[in-house]
Structures are given as structure tokens and as C-alpha cells.
Structure 1
Amino acid sequence: MATIVKTPAGTWKAVIRKTGWPTNAKTFRTKRDAEDWSRRTEDEMVRGVYIQRSGSERMTLEMALKRYLNDITPTKKPTTQRGETSKAKKLTEHLGKYSLAALSAEIIANYRDKRLNEKGRTGTTSNNTVRLELALLSHLFTVAIQEWGLGLTFNPVLNIRKPSPGEGRNRRLSPDEERRLLAAVNKHSNPMLGWIVGIALETGMRSAEISTLRGPMVDLERRIVKLVDTKNDGQRTVPLSRRATELFKAAMANPARPGDCHLVFFGEPGKDGIRRPYAFTKIWGILIKELGLSDFRFHDLRHEAVSRLVEAGLSDQEVSAISGHKSMQMLKRYTHLRSEDLVKKIDKIKQRNLRKV
């Protein structure tokens, strides 16, 4: 039988002591609420279905996200860590004061709709951004259920519709844009910026893959780069075109590189004396804005490079081996062929067939 007492603050405290169960206590504004809770809880204990929910009721989403970022996020790749920190800020801003127990599918669905209509510097929030935020929230609930022992019984994110990923970006460089872009980065005071942009355009490697390259990974004689830690947690070998080989030769012969630094593209030493990869994101953003290409992202260089490989006649399997895409569906998002190039190819095929006749 529960013990119900009035507290000095005027509230009612219910305490349940039952053999085989830990002591459980909860405070309510009215005696009626305390009695109702006590009856329900004791009934669940008798039937063997009682779950201690106080942990999920006390822990807000803001507290849970801080724990997740401290315990789970550090086990992931640096780029993923930065992304999760950014997504956690938005989730905290909108839902941080809710307890985990109070977060229902309806509340999360409202968050989804509000975020999709939220305007930022570049327009409304994209479907993919919201989808990834919900993915982080969903994994947090999974970890909380399986590892944190908070008394949660289900993941409410699983009960709502997720925004579709969308069609993906289709931003290609025009010949004039490419000429102006390469001229600008090659004129920059640090030659590494020009080498990095040129290599991205030639190989389709990701920004993080290029910036973290170390000397032993680049084989100029065989004209290949061996990537050992990619976004998809796999290794791959990237063949180098003649132009890419020339760019790597220039980068490897950089006279400014300290003798004890193995990074191909290196930055200044930090406060701890350690050199980290060259951070070019800020200067890239400034140059792009000055060139009037504010809608062009560094990752679009990968899109351009992969599309050119397809246009050059390589098969999907050959392109995926170079780019590292695990599925043909993902690869198709990057292979938007120029209509004018397809027209030329159709004309060549027809002319070849006419000659045979």
C-alpha cells in the first residue's frame, strides 16, 4: 500500500514500497493525482509490467543531447561530429525543454513541419536537413532505450513521416565559371587552395578526403591515391589523370612544408604545436561570393567531376570504383549529363550508322 503525505510546500508525495521493486516516489499538486498514480503503479507491479519512468521524465532533450554529444558523437568521424553538433543545436532550440517522456510523435511531427517552413539565409530549410535532424533524434532515442535505462519503451520518431531526401543538387560549372574559379584560386596567396580545387575537379574526391591526405597515400609513379578512411568506412584507390598528377607533384614539392609534416595540405601549428589539415573553408566562401557563385558549394566539384567521368564514357561500375558510391541510386544523383553533350553523342552515333549503310 502506498504512503501519501502532504509536504510543507502544500503538494502531495506518494511513496510506494513493494517487495521485489525499488522504492518509488513522486510528488503531485493534488491528493487525488497522487492516489491515482499510486493505484496505477501498484497494479503494474502486481502484473509485472511496471517500468520506472522517472529517468525519462526528469531528463530533458537538452540534457540527453549533451550526453549523446559527449558519449556517442566522439566515436564517429570528425565531419559527422561537426554535423551532429550543428543538428543538436536546432533540436535543442525547438524541443530542448521537453522531457524525453513527453516527446510524442505529434510534437516531433510539428517540429518537422515547422522546420520545413523555416526560412534561413539560403531559403527554406531543405528536406534533407530536416531528415538528418530527425535521424539524430531517432538514434538518441534508440541509445536511451537500449543503454541508458531511462524507462523509455518506444521511439516516437519511428511513428512519423520523414521528409523525402529530395532529388539532390544538380549544380554544374559552365566553362566561363570554371575559368574564373580556377583563375581566382590559383592567384590566391596560398598555392594549396588552387591545388586542392584542381584535384577535387579532376578526381571527385571529397573535401575531407583531400585535406587529410598524407604523403605515403599518394603514389605518383603509379598515378594513384590510396584512401584508407572514407565517408563510407571503406578503402578505395583513386586513379589520377595527367592533370591531377601534375597538381599532386606540385603539392608534394611544396617548399613550405616542414620536414616533420606528412600532411600533403597542412595548416599552421595549433596552440598544442600540432599541425592539422589546411583549413580553406573560409577563404573558399569569400572567393565564391566575390565571383558571384554564391550558390556553388565545394562539394559541387565532386558532382562535376563524377558527371564528367560518366560523360567520358566510363561505366557506372568504373565510376563508382573511383568515386566510392556504394549504390547505383546514389551515383545517379551525381551523374546529370549535359543535354547538349547527349545531342552531340546522338549525332555521332547516327552518322556512324549512316556510313555503314
Structure 2
Amino acid sequence: MSLYKRGNTWWVRFTAPSGERIRHSAGTTDKQAAQEYLDRLKVELWQVHKLGEKPKRTWKETTVRWLKEKEHKADSKHDLEKLRWLDQFLGDKTLDEINRDLIDQIAAIKKRETSPSTANRYLALIRAILRMARDEWEWIDKAPRVRLYPEPKKRVRWITREEAQHLIAALPEHLADMAAFTLATGLRQSNVSYLRWDQVDLNRGVTWIHADQSKSRKAITVPLNKDAQSVLNRRLGTHPEYVFTYKGKPQQVASTRAWKKALKQVGITDFRWHDLRHTWASWHVQNGTSLQELMELGGWSSYEMVLRYAHLAADHLQEAAQRIEGTNLAQSDIKNGLRLIVSH
């Protein structure tokens, strides 16, 4: 039989015109709906085989392939979270059914639930998947345009050295050491949380992040300044495997109640754990580190990523600004001379 039941759900089973054996769920408990699905599927496969038309791919098929090809990405788990939310709107759609109107409706819902910037992350994922289906896999001939919401550019959030000292003093020891090490190295929270002693060489004064631990998927060598080495020396002997632990385990989440309590205690607002990395970068630039050096120290994959800190370093423009000194016609002696000339 072409239709059969597994539990309460109807399944289809038949041989396609190409000779391929087809067997999968019809996704329904209604026999009539399952029969309609089977009939439609047979027609589509006949058109593909006899007329050379492209098979209709579903959003589910597309996301499965996307996740498989992107599993090497450091943030692939974030894609999975977004796709789970999107499944309620797109899960039963074929790619040719996903148009601009449907995408705009989904974006409007996410915008109401969260914010324009968060909605844009979902829109960007939809756009990337549809472009991949069009350009790489050739599953569709065209993809709908995806319009992102305008986002105001946010300033880089950083704190002063004095504020940092107060914050570290207010934190419990395990978080204080993590925060101090982050401010000394600029490492991301996950890299600090799971830093192992076999990634540290105190004699050479370096630590390293393996490629599979790095967001850019490139290995990073991190030079350790005296502040960073001081933290590591304090941590020696606390755990045989991991550098930063709490109750014998890596501190997986840093933005804990203790973190929030310390921020409130010292009067620092609108400050995330990741802003410690921004603070580290800001201090570097303010003290003369070039953007090229900062890019290498921070393990950023492109120069554009460090340009957000450029405005904090005007010193490199000081020499250029001085090249036209003495040509300012607003000087009082020049203005007086010009008045005499004009009056005669």
C-alpha cells in the first residue's frame, strides 16, 4: 500500500519514476490529507523526472543541510536556537512558498517580542539560508529580498581602570579572577571559562586558544602581560585541569547574580560581561596600540571589526593636524592686518 500508519500518523511509501524508493511521514493523522499529499508528491516527482523541473524542497530539508554544512561554526548552536523558533512559521513550507510577505510577517512578530536588532539576526539567517539554497545548492532559481530593520549604531561600552578596580573588588574570588584575566588578555568569556592548564605556558608567558575554540576558527596565541600572569599564579593548584573553576567545575556562565550584584554595588550600569573585552580593547587603543596590533591580539578575523575603537585613538592624527598650524586666519594679528589692507 502507498499509505500506511505508524502510530496515529500516516506515512507514504512508493517507487518514484526515477526508481528511487520513497518512504517518509505525511505529517498528518488525517487519511484524506495524507492521500492528497501522496498524490501531489507523485505529480511533483513525475514533473521532475519527465519534464526536468526542480524538485520542491522543504524548509526542513534546507535547514538540515544548512546545519550540517555549518556545524564547524563556533556559533552554530545559536543558529539552531533561531531555527527552532522559525520552525513554527516555516516548518511545513516549501521554499517556493517562502516569499517577502511571509518573511515580513515573521520579522514583525519577532520585533514585537524582542527588538529590531534581534529580529535582524533572524532575518539575516533566513536570507543566508535562502541564498545558499539558490547559489550553492541550486534548489531554487530566485530568493526573496529580505529587508532588515534600521538599527542605531551603539557606542562601545567600556569602563575606566578605577571602575574596573572597584568592580573586581566587589566580585567573589572566582569571578574576580576571571574578570581580571579578561581585562588583561581580552579573551572571550567561553575561552576564559574553559581555559585549561595545558593551554598555558608560564615560562614563555603565553596561552593559546585552539582553532576549534575560536570564534574565527583560527588558532590564537595570547601573550600574557604581568597582570595576566599574576592571576594565573594565584590560580595554580586550584584545579588539575581547568584554570578557572567554581566548586570544582568550569564557570560556564559569568553573568550570574553575583556579577549583577557587584555591578549594582559599585554603580556601573548597562555593562555586560562581554564589555570587559571592549574595555580591554579600548584601553589598548587609548594607550597607543595600533588597530592592526589590536586585531591580532584580539583574534578578530577582519580589520573592520576593530574600527569601532578607532575614535578612541586620535593621537595618531595629531601630527597631521599640526601640518597647517599658522594658517588660521582667525588669529587676531592676521585679522587686524587684513582690516588695515581693506581700509586703504
Q: TM-score, normalised by structure 1?
A: 0.65
The letter of the residue matching 1:171 is R
Please report the RMSD computed on the Cα atoms of aligned residues, expressed in angstroms: 4.5
The letter of the residue matching 1:300 is D
Could you give the per-residue CA deviations for residues 125-155 of structure 1, whole angstroms, max 9, x where no partner exists? 42xx3343234334555777899x9x94256
- Match for residue 88 of structure 1? 83
C-alpha deviation, 1:247, in angstroms: 1.3
1:211 pairs with 189, 193, 202, which one?
A: 193
Any conservation in 2 of the 1:265–1:278 contact (CA below 8 Å)?
A: no
Matched, 1:325 2:300: yes
Q: Which moved more, 1:328-337 or 1:107-116?
A: 107-116
When residues 82 and 199 of structure 1 are mapped into structure 2, their CA distance, relative to the original with a 3 A threshold, is same
Write the mapping of 1:180-199 to structure 2, written as runs, cut at 5 A.
Answer: 180-185=166-171, 188=172, 191-199=173-181
Could you give the per-residue CA deviations for residues 213-268 of structure 1, whole angstroms, max 9, x where no partner exists? 111222222322222231111112222222222112112x2x442xxx32111344
> Using the alignment, how far apart are the partners of 2:264 and 2:77 within structure 1?
23
> Using the alignment, how far apart are the partners of 2:73 and 2:204 within structure 1?
32
> Using the alignment, how far apart are the partners of 1:40 and 1:319 within structure 2?
55
Any conservation in 1 of the 2:190–2:252 contact (CA below 8 Å)?
A: no
Q: TM-score, normalised by structure 2?
A: 0.67
- Match for residue 216 of structure 2? 232
> Using the alignment, how far apart are the partners of 1:291 and 1:154 within structure 2?
57
Write the mapping of 1:43-192 to structure 2, written as runs, cut at 5 A.
Answer: 46=50, 48-53=51-56, 56=58, 67=64, 75-77=72-74, 80-92=75-87, 95-96=89-90, 98-101=92-95, 102-116=97-111, 118=112, 120=114, 124-126=115-117, 129-138=118-127, 140-141=129-130, 152-154=139-141, 156=143, 159-163=145-149, 167-174=153-160, 177-185=163-171, 188=172, 191-192=173-174
> Using the alignment, how far apart are the partners of 2:245 and 2:94 within structure 1?
43
When residues 163 and 19 of structure 1 are mapped into structure 2, their CA distance, relative to the original with a 3 A threshold, is same
Could you give the per-residue CA deviations for residues 177-210 of structure 1, whole angstroms, max 9, x where no partner exists? 324312212xx1xx22111101111221111121
- Match for residue 308 of structure 1? 283
Matched, 1:280 2:254: yes
Pairs aligned (count): 295
Any conservation in 1 of the 2:184–2:280 contact (CA below 8 Å)?
A: yes
Any conservation in 1 of the 2:185–2:222 contact (CA below 8 Å)?
A: yes
Structure 2 unaligned spans of 5+ = 1-13, 34-38, 327-344
The letter of the residue matching 1:183 is A
Matched, 1:221 2:203: yes
- Match for residue 331 of structure 2? none
Could you give the per-residue CA deviations for residues 284-318 of structure 1, whole angstroms, max 9, x where no partner exists? 34433555544111111111111211111122222
Give the secondary structure class of the aligned counterpart of 2:94. Answer: coil
Q: Percent identity?
A: 21
> Using the alignment, how far apart are the partners of 1:68 and 1:166 within structure 2?
34
When residues 335 and 220 of structure 1 are mapped into structure 2, their CA distance, relative to the original with a 3 A threshold, is farther
